[in-house]
Structure 1
């Protein structure tokens, strides 16, 4: 299960860092989507930092399993909140990608916990 965690954690970290980069560069598409969801513009840097912290925690979790599990739990909560925000705003096209990332975070929890 460790190999599964390592591969999925690496891939998820790449996705998180790319998404965090978008939060800091603020492309128009992302800003429009955030306003549709009712999130304030000033929330973007906080969301980007949370994603960077999650990616870092997953990578450090390769050596420190409790930190990897904690990072995956945090990401599960983060993406569950994203799903809820999309559904609340009626953005049914935006909810599935966040739901998939929630499931991936759950896979990270179970795969890392299995190697304790």
Structure 2
């Protein structure tokens, strides 16, 4: 079970850091997507920070279970909000990746709780 937790944690950390990097570079794709979703540019720093904190918390959670569960809950809320944002504006192409990441975050909660 712990091996599964490590695999999902590494996957989520890689995705989160890649996404935070793209947001910090303000790539055209990201700025267009955030504009479509109605996310103000000033909120980008907060989103980047949340992703980095989630990645750090997920990694720390491999050693400290409560931190891992707290990080996974935060990530679940973050990605559920992303799903809601995509659906709110009718972005049916952008919602599925956010759904997958929401489910992966829920898996982190379950796996970390099972390995305490």
**TM-score after normalising by structure 2:** 0.98
- Say yes or no: does 1:90 pair with 2:90: yes
1:2, 1:61 → 2: CA distance?
Answer: 12
| Map 1:31-70 → 2, pairs under 5 A | 31-70=31-70
How many Å apart are 1:25 and its aligned residue? Answer: 0.6
Number of equivalent positions: 116
The CA distance in 1 between the partners of 2:84 and 2:34, in whole Å, is 13
1:27 Cα shift?
0.5
Shift of 1:3: 1.2
Q: CA RMSD in A?
A: 0.6
Does 1:73 pair with 2:73?
Answer: yes
Aligned match of 1:14: 14
Ranges of 4+ aligned residues in structure 1 off by more than 4 Å = none
Alpha-carbon distance in 2 for matches of 1:111, 1:72: 10
How does the TM-score come out when normalised to structure 1? 0.98
Give distance in 2, aligned partners of 1:80 and 1:62. 23
- What secondary structure is seen at the aligned counterpart in 2 of 1:77? helix
Q: How far off its partner does 1:44 sit? A: 1.1
